[in-house]
Chains A and B, each alone.
Chain A
Amino acid sequence: MAAWGIAACAFALPPEAVSHIAFGDNDAKLSAIDELVGRGDLSALPLLQGLLDGEVQTIGADRVLLVKGDTAVDAVSGQAVTPVPEGRDDVVVNNRLRRALATGIAALRLAAPEREVRLAAAKELRNSADDAALPAIAGALTKESDPEVRGLLALTQASIELASPDRATRIGAVRALAASDTGATKTLLTALLERRGNVYVEPDAEIRAAAERSLRAVDQRLLTGEILARIFSGISLGTILLLAALGLAITYGLMGVINLAHGELIMIGAYATYVVQNVFRLHAPAAFDLYPIVALPFAFAVSAGVGILLERTVICHLYGRPLETLLATWGLSLLLIQGVRTIFGAQNVQVENPNWMSGGFEIMTNVVLPWSRVVIIGFTACIVVALWLLLTRTRLGLFMRAVTQNRPMAGALGVRTPRVDMLAFGLGSGIAGLAGCALSQIGNVGPDLGQSYIVDSFMVVVLGGVGQLVGTVYAALGLGLVNKFIEAWQGAVLAKIAVLVFIIIFIQKRPQGLFALKGRTVEA
């Protein structure tokens, strides 16, 4: 509708061309389309697009209208015509005209002053161009200054020119294709090297040699792209594991409390985000994009509150009895799951991304990094830094480390250990809440959300070595990367099993975890 409005005020088309398009025979139509495209005037776009979409209608023998639903504008003047007159006839276009129209539209858009329009047009052409578009592309190439659009156009031109009858053009095209990074180019080049029986489909040896060289270059670039994508998804998985495990690194790593309800604290954080999102949708739909700013502290507070409550009522009675703590916290997790089911229902709930988190960032043709993942990676980094500062630079952090190292001595020196326990547990639970808030942006939110993370996050903490934050970071990122690389090779389930088995074996060798082991990596 927006385009419609802009079009309506910028119309000033030559009436004879419009009249030829509407009333002339096919040849007249064609030359009129060429004339409109040749003027390089973007204001012809709505008419051409309308023609393609069957929205151009005529009245009598002189009036041409663009009709969209129940609104209509005059094709020449661009004035709105109300009410829409009766007795209209459709303007029919055949396939030949359609092709000419599509090419003409692309050529017009390639001449647009805005870079985004040209880029979008170039991308569209990459997928659909045939030799009819060649003049338009060649024309645009002479004028184009933006390197990205130029590159795209040159590749499209080259892949069209592969079919050219001229040998020199074809060799040039094959060489130009070496700069491509799409799978489609690979298919094109591979086709040149195909054999039928003992005979090459392509008789020209020079073209074949050029194709082979180009194919190698394309393959190289595709492989780089794939590895980059894999590293990114590995890091992304690693940060998610890290988010889920950070809170546990405090409660288990620092305090020695086995909290099997940790996953449920993540789940509560996700539900807190869901509640905030609903409140925003109901009461402040205009500010919906800002809801994560409120959801983060809210999720932290809710999970920390629940965590402190659990610590005060149950866990504090079980310090020093880890096996009993394990069972009691499992009981707590069942209560929390069922409680959430009772309040919110057993079905998954819908948490919507804010607009600025949808979409992605394309670093190569086949490598798109979703914004939500990028944001979560950054967010995790912030939490790690904040937590590190808290543990090393604040009084509470000092007390926490003291209690970790020697509880009776810390107590004797005046640290109120039960209070430190409570705050540390609250902190760990709050971080679980933050994790839930982040995870709600990329996965399902349901009562069972936490269950799927509990084994993984314990593995991360155990592998990283208890009592050290940095071990957890290394373990999470390492596991994420290893998992994604095995996944490419053996599939997701086997990758996960392999990682679990690896950890089990690793723990046999080093029960104190990874980080007591300086200078070695997870793969070692």
Chain B
Amino acid sequence: MASEFIRARAPAHAISALPIAARWWSGSAWGWMGVAALTLFVLVPAGNLLVPQGHMLHVSDYTVTLAGKILCYAIVALAMDLIWGYTGILSLGHGLFFALGGYAMGMYLMRSIGRDGVSGSDLPDFMVFLDWKAYPWYWSFTDQFWYAALLVVLVPGVLAFVFGYFAFRSRIKGVYFSIITQALTYAFMLLFFRNDTGFGGNNGFTDFKRILGFPIAAPETRVALFMLTGAALGGFLLLGRAIVSSKLGRVLTAIRDAETRVMFSGYNPVYFKLFIWTLSAIICGIAGALYVPQVGIINPSEMSPANSIEIAIWTAVGGRGTLIGPIFGAVAVNLGKSWFTVALPEYWLYVLGLLFIVVTLYLPRGLAGPLSRKTS
């Protein structure tokens, strides 16, 4: 009964006036892209590696890592925007895809530790503590970087594809979809918390030593990872732009605004949704893979339902249905979080909570809403 109530009202909640973000790609937008690229690839690396410590323009290692981490979050927010902002499907499972990509990369990083761990064994320390004698089958080949990279894409991709196929085929949508993605994430979190699952239990993976032979804590490696993350973000932004301005993008937006009408016009929404859902999960997985070597740890708390909901607020703050908005949203919220958790830790949850309420009540289009009105 109530589900009918929700369904009957569904069109009303869709924000029909969102543009297809065309205005971000005028000449000035390309100008901004250039500035961003300059910062990413010249200013930050030079500030970190060339400017001596103590100098006013020096960029500390901490800042590079923080910036890299936030860029990873921005990629996640972008992925969330594709599925939520453009297609109207609110996923509460993006934290899971992010973590799965991270774990896939983490497996490679654990294997690269070699015998330099505390126990000095071929196996990671946590397996030695569990008294395991060999790697379980799902760890095979993970010492090869190419295979780990493949896993980064395949694991979130296949999971999202299978889950999405069944969910979309049974026409699960709206909050139902959100809730079962949350349940999925929660189930995986419980699974990864077990020691016997073979992913390090509570502690997850940490104490990485090197990546592709380079020492992982060296400033050069960090800067390289940072630049790689920036390049990935730029690449995904262009990809997102290509998708949303294509006919495919138009169908996605139409699904968001009036799914039944799309169906009656002769399109099968299942495959459109499945495509963008799987792509979004893969992008998340790649973001996770870039995140782990920079932050140096991955554990199951990344899969907690709270984390996935937070991703939604990054996107909402910046402005759903614009490509740049979520990136700014992720950067702004996470900078705020970094500042608050150091300066006023007990107030951060108040700020975050209010952010959720204020944005949903008063800024349904996020910060991009008022900003774009000003520019137009």
Q: Which of A84-92, A476-484, A508-516 contacts B (4 or more CB under 8 A)?
A: A508-516
Q: Determine if A331 and B356 form an interchain contact, defined as CB atoms under 8 angstroms apart.
A: yes
- Given that A318-B360, A321-B12, A337-B349 are known contacts, is A507 also in contact with B180, CB under 8 Å in the complex? yes
Q: B373 contacts the other chain (Cβ, under 8 Å)? A: no
Determine the residue in chain A with the shortest Cβ distance to B349. Answer: A338
Q: Determine if A504 and B1 form an interchain contact, defined as CB atoms under 8 angstroms apart.
A: no
Shortest A343–chain B CB gap in Å is: 12
Residues of B with C-beta under 8 A to A227: none
Determine the residue in chain B with the shortest Cβ distance to A507. Answer: B180
Q: Determine if B357 and A497 form an interchain contact, defined as CB atoms under 8 angstroms apart.
A: no
Determine the residue in chain A with the shortest Cβ distance to B193. Answer: A493
Determine the residue in chain B with the shortest Cβ distance to A462. Answer: B179
Q: Determine if A327 and B313 form an interchain contact, defined as CB atoms under 8 angstroms apart.
A: yes
- Given that A455-B183, A501-B187 are known contacts, is A511 also in contact with B176, CB under 8 Å in the complex? yes
Residues of B with C-beta under 8 A to A252: 2
Q: Which of B111-119, B164-172, B233-241 contacts A (4 or more CB under 8 A)?
A: B164-172
Residues of B with C-beta under 8 A to A326: 90, 175, 178
Q: Determine if A508 and B166 form an interchain contact, defined as CB atoms under 8 angstroms apart.
A: yes
Candidates B13, B176, B179, B191; contact of A321 at CB < 8 Å: B13
Q: A332 contacts the other chain (Cβ, under 8 Å)? A: yes
Residues in B162-199 with C-beta less than 8 Å from chain A: 166-167, 169-172, 174-176, 178-180, 182-184, 186-187, 190-191, 193-194
- The CA of A218 and the CA of B182, in the complex, are separated in Å by 46
Q: Determine if B2 and A255 form an interchain contact, defined as CB atoms under 8 angstroms apart.
A: yes
A304-315 vs B, CB cutoff 8 Å, 1 = contact: the mask equals 000000000010
Q: A436 contacts the other chain (Cβ, under 8 Å)? A: no
Shortest A522–chain B CB gap in Å is: 16
Q: Determine if B357 and A314 form an interchain contact, defined as CB atoms under 8 angstroms apart.
A: yes
Residues of B with C-beta under 8 A to A497: 187, 190-191
Q: Determine if B5 and A335 form an interchain contact, defined as CB atoms under 8 angstroms apart.
A: no
Residues of B with C-beta under 8 A to A253: 2
Q: Determine if A328 and B357 form an interchain contact, defined as CB atoms under 8 angstroms apart.
A: yes
Total A-B pairs, Cβ < 8 A:
145
Residues of B with C-beta under 8 A to A230: none
Shortest B333–chain A CB gap in Å is: 13
Residues of A with C-beta under 8 A to B364: 324
Residues of A with C-beta under 8 A to B359: 327
Task: Report which residue of B166, B184, B357 has the largest number of chain A beta carbons within 10 angstroms of its beta carbon.
Answer: B357
The majority secondary structure among interface residues of chain B is helix
Q: Determine if B3 and A323 form an interchain contact, defined as CB atoms under 8 angstroms apart.
A: no
Residues of B with C-beta under 8 A to A260: 309
Q: Determine if B356 and A500 form an interchain contact, defined as CB atoms under 8 angstroms apart.
A: no
Shortest B321–chain A CB gap in Å is: 13
Residues of A with C-beta under 8 A to B166: 505, 508
Determine the residue in chain A with the shortest Cβ distance to B358. Answer: A331
- The CA of A509 and the CA of B190, in the complex, are separated in Å by 24
Shortest B198–chain A CB gap in Å is: 14
Q: A265 contacts the other chain (Cβ, under 8 Å)? A: no
Residues in B306-341 with C-beta less than 8 Å from chain A: 306, 309, 312-313, 316
Residues of A with C-beta under 8 A to B309: 260, 327, 330
- Given that A327-B316, A331-B360, A466-B1 are known contacts, is A493 also in contact with B346, CB under 8 Å in the complex? no
Q: Determine if A331 and B178 form an interchain contact, defined as CB atoms under 8 angstroms apart.
A: no
Residues in B1-34 with C-beta less than 8 Å from chain A: 1-3, 5-6, 9, 12-13
Q: Determine if B167 and A256 form an interchain contact, defined as CB atoms under 8 angstroms apart.
A: no
Residues of A with C-beta under 8 A to B367: none
Residues in A118-166 with C-beta less than 8 Å from chain B: none
Q: A407 contacts the other chain (Cβ, under 8 Å)? A: yes
Residues of B with C-beta under 8 A to A331: 313, 352-357, 360
Q: A322 contacts the other chain (Cβ, under 8 Å)? A: yes
Candidates A323, A334, A342, A504; contact of B175 at CB < 8 Å: A323
Task: Report which residue of A334, A337, A405, A505 has the largest number of chain B beta carbons within 10 angstroms of its beta carbon.
Answer: A334
A-B contact pairs, 30 of them (CB 8 A): A318-B360, A320-B9, A322-B13, A322-B174, A323-B90, A323-B174, A324-B13, A327-B309, A327-B356, A331-B313, A331-B352, A331-B353, A335-B349, A335-B353, A338-B349, A342-B346, A407-B5, A455-B182, A455-B183, A458-B179, A458-B183, A467-B2, A493-B191, A504-B183, A508-B167, A508-B169, A508-B170, A511-B172, A511-B176, A512-B3
Residues in chain A within 8 A of chain B (CB atoms): 252-256, 258, 260, 314, 317-318, 320-328, 330-335, 337-338, 341-342, 404-405, 407, 451, 454-455, 458-459, 462, 466-468, 493-494, 496-497, 500-501, 503-505, 507-509, 511-512
- Can you add 15 more A-B contacts, CB < 8 Å, to A331-B360, A509-B170? A253-B2, A256-B5, A317-B361, A323-B90, A323-B175, A334-B350, A334-B356, A454-B305, A455-B183, A458-B179, A467-B2, A500-B186, A500-B190, A507-B176, A511-B171
